[in-house]
A = this chain, B = another copy of it.
Amino acid sequence: MTIRIDFEPVGRRGECPEGQSLLDCARQLGVDLVNLCGGSGTCGRCKVQILRGQVSELTPRERELLTSRELAEGYRLACRTVPLSDCRVGVPPESLTAPQRTQVEGLEVVVDLEPPVCAYPLQLKPPSLEDGDLQADGERLLNALAQQHQVEHCAVDLEVLCDLSRRVRGDNWRANVAVRDGREIVALLSLSHRPLGLAVDLGTTKIAGYLLDLESGQTLASQGMMNPQISYGEDVIARMAHAQEGPTEAAQLQAMVAKALNQMAADMCAGVDADPAEIVEAVVVGNTAMHHLFLQLPVEQLARAPYVPAVAEGLDVKARDVGLAIASGGYVHLLPNIAGFVGADHVAMLLATGVAQAEDIVLALDIGTNTEVCLANRGAMTSVSCASGPAFEGAHITHGMRAAKGAIERVRITDDRVEYQAIGGAPPVGLCGSGILDGLAELHRIGVLDATGRLGEHPRVRVGSDGAREFVLLGEEERGGQPAITITQKDVRELQLAKGAMRAGIQILLEAQGLSEQAIDRVIIAGAFGTYIDVSSAVAIGMLPSLPLDRFRQVGNAAGAGARLALVSRSKRAEAQEIARRVGYIELATEPRFMRIFAEAMSLG
């Protein structure tokens, strides 16, 4: 006897033998669930939600490891649960290992479709000397549009005009025009094709792209890639310095991103048998520096106090003016920036998470090289930007690495035994951000790290080659003679700086509103790193406020979700503009209390 199991939203399904655990079913169907304990029911990481079907009874272990809210919502531990009938099983992103998470992360885009560009099929009458109908092609098209669809007073983009005469003759006097805001024909589509849209979250480290069907709002494809500008510096400061070397350098940085986006668009289109020329609109969000470098706006004034953007309002620019190879007349919409270090990606995150409309007190963070934090007190929003640095991306950490295959992403320490989970189940080669965070939390939990962050005594603590102490996660002998993987005293300090900056930002926001930590009803954690972390570890080391865990929600790439919302909805664009106007901004550099609070926030206690 077999049972049919359907894992969502990863979309893996198939027949599994009766009587085996959901964890085994997942393994069999290629769903990489996190598990540190090897399925012994002790780590509590392999949480899944039973959406349909009958499963075995709850075990005492599950009652212990799952919150009451999780239990009420049907969450179970996959290793402790045996399906009794065909089942539909929801896998939350945090239960997936990193590579699979990138495919599904992000909020679902649910919005009334109101795309800025719509397609209209047209049937034209051919011109003729005989009946004296010698109207120009452009006016012929516009008249048909007015008569057949009541869309009047439209302009036609010059590049579209350049294509028009050949296309309408080749298509036997039929056309499928993409009209933007009822005002301009931006593309001629293939007769049977629907207009596509491209949403981009242009991060300092990573770029996430989404290809959408503008008529259905459906995400047809998504893709992640490294930002190629990284070869000119890991952080925005280094890249802005490069851009300031001269117009050639600025143009080079711009062209790198344009090329990457073109490649991404081409790849995603190829996957769904479409052509990038059918992409009639793009939305790009990024921090203010990425936004400026993409548009080749000047960054001198952004890199120096008082850190003023060249422009903050939302912009519509012709895709061709920024080198994007989409529909000839298509536009790129840039969501508004808020300040020099709080950019359009933050606006997109606030848009996607609905913080602006929330009637409770919400803290929303987008954790990355720069962490933007917004405190929304019943819709009154104030934001800060914290220079959390690249430690969370695995940089500046002795054995740090990005969240790629072989990166240790979960750590548990029991006495002198170290349990870990490496991405892809591969032999471990280093530590990614969430692994370091887990490590720190564990070291603090077992008392090896004190509140000041000093590494104390432990059988695995030794003096490293640089004379400083380090904790050995995997020794040379455990790695078959390869160098050990350790957490050094310096690594601890890096993490303390990062988490201290973030926590201090949160504290400044709370003080500005006269609120205590406990007043926060919900904490929304966005961003790739934020999605992968173990929230309890982050709370344990004081990176996040000490609140009940069920007040936290990890939403994945919310900036990307916001970009997709803005791509398919004109109202959402207006809302983004409204959010950018309403958000108050506190510049930490001029905040007199900041240094004191920052120093306190570095404590692990």
Contact = CB atoms under 8 A, between A and B. Distances in A.
Contact of A301 (B137, B297, B589): B137
A127 B306 contact: yes
B587 A311 contact: no
Interface string A306-336: 1111111101010001100000000000000
A172 interface: no
Contacts of A128: 306
Contacts of A163: 298
Contacts of A246: none
Interface in A584-598: 585, 587, 589-590
A132 interface: yes
A541 B237 CA distance: 79
Interface in A160-211: 161-166, 169
B165 A301 contact: yes
Contacts of A295: 158, 161-162
Contacts of A587: 129, 132, 134
Task: Indicate the member of A156, A166, A310 with the most B CB atoms within 10 Å.
Answer: A310
Given A129-B305, A165-B300, A297-B161, A139 B589 contact: no
A136 interface: yes
A138 interface: yes
A68 interface: no
A311 to B, nearest CB: 3
A164 B311 CA distance: 9
Contact of A156 (B130, B164, B311, B322): B311
B164 A310 contact: yes
A337 B130 CA distance: 21
Contacts of A130: 590
A345 to B, nearest CB: 16
Chain A interface residue count: which class?
Answer: 35 or more
A296 interface: yes
A134 B341 CA distance: 11
Contacts of A67: none
B296 A138 contact: no
Q: How many copies does the complex hold?
A: 2
A293 to B, nearest CB: 12
A587 B339 CA distance: 61
A340 interface: yes
A319 B457 CA distance: 71
A252 to B, nearest CB: 15
Given A297-B162, A306-B127, A138 B590 contact: no
Contacts of A298: 162-166
A137 B158 CA distance: 30
A59 interface: no
A147 interface: no
Nearest to A589: B129
A218 interface: no
A2 interface: no
Contact of A306 (B129, B307, B315): B129
Interface string A129-145: 11010111111000000
26 contacts: A129-B306, A129-B587, A129-B589, A129-B590, A132-B587, A134-B306, A134-B585, A135-B312, A136-B309, A136-B311, A136-B312, A137-B301, A137-B310, A137-B311, A156-B311, A158-B315, A158-B317, A161-B297, A161-B311, A162-B295, A162-B297, A164-B310, A165-B308, A165-B310, A166-B300, A169-B301
Given A134-B585, A138-B309, 19 more contacts: A127-B306, A129-B305, A129-B306, A129-B587, A132-B587, A134-B306, A134-B307, A134-B587, A135-B312, A136-B312, A138-B311, A139-B312, A158-B317, A162-B296, A162-B297, A162-B298, A165-B297, A165-B308, A166-B298
Interface of A: 127-130, 132, 134-139, 156, 158, 161-166, 169, 295-298, 300-301, 305-313, 315, 317, 321-322, 337, 339-340, 585, 587, 589-590
